[in-house]
Amino acid sequence: MTGSAGTGQLTSLAFRRDRVMLPACVWGIVVVLAITARDLKVLYPTPARRLAVATSAGDNPALRFLLGRLNGTSVGAFLAARWGVWGAAAAVLLTIFIVVRHTRADEEAGRLELVGSAAVGRQAPLIAALLAAVTANAAIALLTCLWLPALKLPLAGSAALALSIGGCGLAFAGVAAVGAQRATTARGARGIAIAALGAAFVLRAVGDTGPAGLAWLSWASPLGWVESTRAFGSSGERWWALALPLAASAVLVAVAFALAAGRDHSAGLLPARPGRPAASGLLRGPFGLAWRLQWGPLAAWVAGCVFAFAACGAAAKAIGSILSASPALRHYLLRVGYQATLSDAYLSALMLLAGLAAATYATSAVLRLRTEETGNLAEPVLATATGRIRWGLSHISVAVGGACLLLATAGLSAGLGYGILTGSVSTQVPALLGAAAARLPATMALAAVAVLLFGLLPWESTGLAWSAVALAGVIAVFGPPLRWPAWMMDISPFTQTPKLPGGAAPAEPLLWLGGITLTLAVAGLAGLRHRDIGDFGPSHLSCLVRDWIAGDPHQSNEVPPPAAARDTAQPPRTTNPDMPSQPPNQAHRTGCSAPGAHLEPGH
């Protein structure tokens, strides 16, 4: 049996598992790129306006730090500068999650050990993961290359931009493959790859904004290679630059295969760090354990907020000259920021994004409860003298504290970035800290929605909680310029928060949001107190909706089969007298939830 035996079957399995996520992410990246191209043609229709923006943007180091260099004044050059680095970063993140998901994550979960017991070669899982990643990047490149010419952009520039984005993704497929061999956990492998992405961004940013002697740093970054292709550039494209990511990908993939061949199954090449002889005193209770589990992601969020909002705050100084060339964009920003001046509108919109970022983190921190439950890690905690309410509050407290820290970091970073350039640090820092704090009630409201869903609808909580965050973000960003009706705007809690800096700060909406947040959280904890722990099946409401869609509204009224019927080879509703009956109080993972679970309510 060769090392690649079974690659076809594993590749088909990978595509089947990602049949929803993969097309959605690929189309999402391409659609955002196409919308950006269309908007740029509308916002800057004349060469004179684009020249004015190019002059202002070229003199602003903060914009070069965030977006990169501008290689021309055409719409395509604006698109490459606006989307080249960030489109490549989006493709890289998708690639990292695909490769790690089908290699180290499956190995950590024990699935690859089960698959390896069949006629499957040792290298087959890695080959299948890389094929899935290559397919995703090829689809992004192909769709981009077809869509941009349809928007009447030059074919050569479209192909250069599409291939450079796809090539950057392929380079990081090799990085993720190497990380999957070195780390012992999927989180560690993703951390290695994402840290490499962050280093690539910093190298590219320093090379673009630093003195001429540091320009070579951009050539050391795969994100810098996207810029070096010069898609839609006034002096023509650099086609030879496309060989750089391909060469890097080939070398890294070869290294990954060599590492995979020389290590033990389920082991990594990085040595495991021995723990302390005795556990820290913080781990004596659920709150210390929750902090120990979540401090790493929170630190990464804080670091990202420092870089992003400091750079965005510094860009506020030149926002007036940049937007003067586009009345449509200026009108949009004034409506999103709810202010009369461009600088206040920009900073208000920036703090809105800070609130959405904090809500995203808080939701993920709350949903860690669901991860602990489905991973069978909640029961050992609840088997001690820890009640359900304390267990739930431990992760909720981390979510609340982390959201407060992120908002404070965003306000402080933006205030320093803007205040240092304008010489008004003493006034801008307090103003933006207050503006960030004004978004805290809306952030907590979305976190409370996640608590409510986890307590009452655990099986549906992840999807519905993220849908709530996405809905609030879409309404907050697109509702004001599109003049959506008031009842639709009121769905988003961010509509009710004060529009600071520059606006009034009434206390009544904040009190209402606080009361709603407290009510939702209490209801969610009450639901957690009385429901089953380890109930992995959908709720009765979901079954009714599913059966209504399927056209059988009476099917959900039947008593669902017990879990044991699924876990054995016996088909559901069997009448075999030799098959022992199972108690109906076992939770099952498919079908509608039966009453009862591993832990009785009230533990």
Give the whole-angstrom CA distance, residue 133 versus residue 16. Answer: 14
**Mean pLDDT score, 551-576:** 46
- Mean pLDDT computed over 389-401: 94
Pair 439, 497: CB distance under 8 Å: yes
Better-scored residue on pLDDT, 84 or 363: 363
Residue 589 reports pLDDT greater than 70: no
Of 28-37, 334-343, 457-466, 488-497, the least confident? 334-343
Whether 394 and 289 have beta carbons less than 8 Å apart is answered as yes
Strand partners, 599: 533
Cβ-count burial 226-238 (b if 16+ within 10 Å, e if not): bbbbbbbbeeebb
Residue 452 has pLDDT above 90, yes or no: yes
Can you say whether residue 389 is alpha, beta or left, with left for phi > 0 and alpha for psi between -120 and 50 degrees? Answer: alpha
**Residue 524: which of 366, 364, 357, 289 has the closest Cα?**
366
Q: What's the full length of the chain, in residues?
A: 603
DSSP label at 346? H
Neighbour-count burial for 38-50, b at 16+ CB within 10 Å, e otherwise: ebbbebbeeeebb
The answer to whether 386 and 288 have CB atoms below 8 angstroms apart is no
Does residue 134 carry a pLDDT above 90? Answer: yes
The pLDDT value recorded for residue 27 is: 93
pLDDT average, residue stretch 461-483: 83
Tell me the C-alpha distance between 297 and 271, whole Å: 22
Half-sphere exposure of 74 (CA within 13 A, CB side): 16
Q: Are 537 and 589 in contact (CB under 8 A)?
A: yes
Q: Distance between alpha carbon 581 and the CA centroid of its chain, in Å?
A: 44
- Per-residue pLDDT band at 22 (split at 50, 70, 90): very high
CA distance 318 to 300: 29
Sign of CA dihedral 277, 278, 280, 286: positive
Q: How does pLDDT run across 116-130, given as a tens digit for each residue?
A: 777 777 888 899 999
CB 335, CB 348: distance < 8 Å: no
Q: Please tell me which of 133-137, 190-194, 200-204, 303-307 the model is most confident about, judged by mean pLDDT.
A: 133-137
pLDDT at residue 282 in the model: 74
At 163-222, the pLDDT tens digits run 999 999 999 999 999 998 888 888 888 888 988 998 898 888 888 877 777 788 888 899
For the purposes of burial, counting CB atoms within 10 Å of the CB of 282, is it exposed (0-12), middle (13-18) or buried (19 or more)? exposed
Reduced to 3 states (helix: H, G, I; strand: E, B; else coil), residue 533 is strand
pLDDT over threshold 70, residue 260: yes
CA gap 462, 538 in Å, rounded: 12
Summarised one tens digit per residue, pLDDT across range 499-523 is 878 777 788 888 999 999 999 999 9
Q: Would the pLDDT of 71 be above 90?
A: no
pLDDT of 325 > 90? The answer is: no
CB burial class (10 A; 0-12, 13-18, 19+) of residue 19? Answer: exposed
Residue 245 has pLDDT above 50, yes or no: yes
Q: What is the mean pLDDT of the chain?
A: 81
For residue 547, is pLDDT > 80?
Answer: no
603 or 51, higher pLDDT:
51
The tokens for 442 are 């809306």
H/E stretch holding 332 reads helix 327-337
Q: Which residues contact 292 (CB under 8 A, 6 or more apart)?
A: 280, 282, 283
CB 445 within 8 A of CB 493: yes
Supply the angle between the helices 75-100 and 155-182 in degrees, to the nearest 10.
30
Enter the tokens of residue 480: 């004001």
Q: What does the DSSP 8-state code read for residue 101?
A: I
CA distance 156 to 364: 41
Contact 70, 32 (CB under 8 A): no
The two tokens of residue 504 are: 């009034």
Residue 544: is it exposed, middle or buried by C-beta count within 10 angstroms (0-12/13-18/19+)?
middle
